[in-house]
Amino acid sequence: MVLLRFAPSPTGALHLGGLRTALYNHLYAKKYRGKWILRIEDTDSTRYVPGAVEGIRAALEWTGLEYDYGPGRDGPHGPYYQSERLDLYRTYARRLLESGHAYRCFCSPDKLASTRERLARTGSNATYDKACLHLTEEEVVRRVRAGESSIVRFNDDRLPQRDAATDLVFGVLRDAHASLPTDPVLLKSDLFPTYHLASIVDDHEMGITHVLRGEEWLPSLPLHLDLYASLSLKPPQFAHLPILLNPDGTKMSKRKGNVSVLDFMRRGWEPEALLNWLALAGWGTQHDPNKKQILFGDSQAPDSTAVMTLPELVDQFDLSALTHRRNILDPAKLGYLNRHHLMRSWKNNEATACHAHRIRELVKSDFPTRYLRVSSSLTRSSMQPTIF
């Protein structure tokens, strides 16, 4: 059975890129009658935002993407918060230390900063001079016993033999270790893991078969595969999802404008239209203009805007159809899809009543009562509020 995971860090609201990742995990899991986990990657306390987990869960609930296991939905892989799994990461770090694939580094943050500067001045790509790699075992034991603070680094002088990195979207990749820091940190001095260690340990321990995540993690793939090989573990399959862009070609980010899912909810968009829009960004479903004109009388249909419900998306989802080009999210397409999702649902009385209620609430919140005037010339039975 396939088992996937969506693993956001609670560093803020769920944004469109994150929702697209959750959606593709859902589509893949459901298509192959598997399951998916919501895993909260909360090991960086400096970036933790209170209320973020609740926001992520509320956004997923609104869109109808139901995870099978995770916070509030216990299962065999828990706990689902990484901060509750710290012993596990320490055990794996110890294994890497014992096999020589990792080593303890006692350099202070100041010393590390000056080393980095010195290396940069000489034009080196290295970010660390591996000073602690050559400490004797006795020296390490002595310093640990003396209570000196240390971190655990991966030893990239001892890379294991392994297959080339293959990604289900990007294909076979040439390893680019040079783009990674020298001897990446696995365990910090507070004994909390870095993302790399926690992520590979959990994907293995939870039995994840497929990792679908944002393209920004593609440079980390060689390191993750090296870690699996160093631990003699079979890695899951990876699929990196191309970055989403704003209509002007700039990278979509939390810092630039309203990309939070809950903002789309507040502005009254149809959740299924939002999912439809995100699913098609990067997944070129053929648009059939003739069919739409006949069905909806709309000759303005933008390209690649097949109107699909969530079950239809599950049915047609195909990882091999994903492009590795960066994808522009065109708001005109969302408008188009939203109209058609509304029209579809209006064939159903219950959905129509539900929409009427939502529209009423939206009008009430956007136009406080002082903007509502009831015309006195109207009879009681035909009385309609006028909105200015």
Rounded-to-integer distance, Cα 191 and Cα 277, Å: 42
DSSP letter for 262, please: H
Rounded-to-integer distance, Cα 64 and Cα 245, Å: 24
Residues contacting 269, CB < 8 A, separation 6+:
334, 338
Asked whether the beta carbons of 253 and 259 are under 8 A apart, the reply is yes
**256 assigned to active site:** no
> Least distance (Å) from ligand GLU to the CB of residue 4?
10
Secondary structure, 3-state, 19-51: HHHHHHHHHHHHHCCCEEEECECCCCHHHCCCC
> Least distance (Å) from ligand GLU to the CB of residue 304?
26
Active-site residue identified among 111, 254, 291, 347: 254
Of 236, 231, 226, whose CA–CA distance to 25 is shortest? 236
What count of other Cβ atoms lies within 10 Å of the Cβ of residue 352?
A: 13
Burial of 57 (0-12, 13-18, 19+ CB in 10 A): middle
Asked whether the beta carbons of 153 and 105 are under 8 A apart, the reply is yes
Measured in whole angstroms, how far is the alpha carbon of residue 172 from the centre of its chain?
22
Tell me the sheet residues that pair with 69: 37
Sheet of 102-105, strand order: 102-105, 151-154, 185-187
Asked whether the beta carbons of 104 and 191 are under 8 A apart, the reply is no
CB closer to ligand GLU, 106 vs 217:
217
Q: Provide the binding-site residues for ligand GLU, judged by CB under 6 A.
A: 7-9, 41, 199, 213, 217
CB closer to ligand GLU, 101 vs 213:
213
Rounded-to-integer distance, Cα 3 and Cα 25, Å: 9
Farthest-apart Cα atoms in the chain, separation: 95
Residue located via tokens 């994150």:
18
Measured in whole angstroms, how far is the alpha carbon of residue 282 from the centre of its chain?
15
DSSP letter for 15, please: B
Structure tokens at 244: 């989403």
- Residues annotated as catalytic (active site), given as ranges: 254
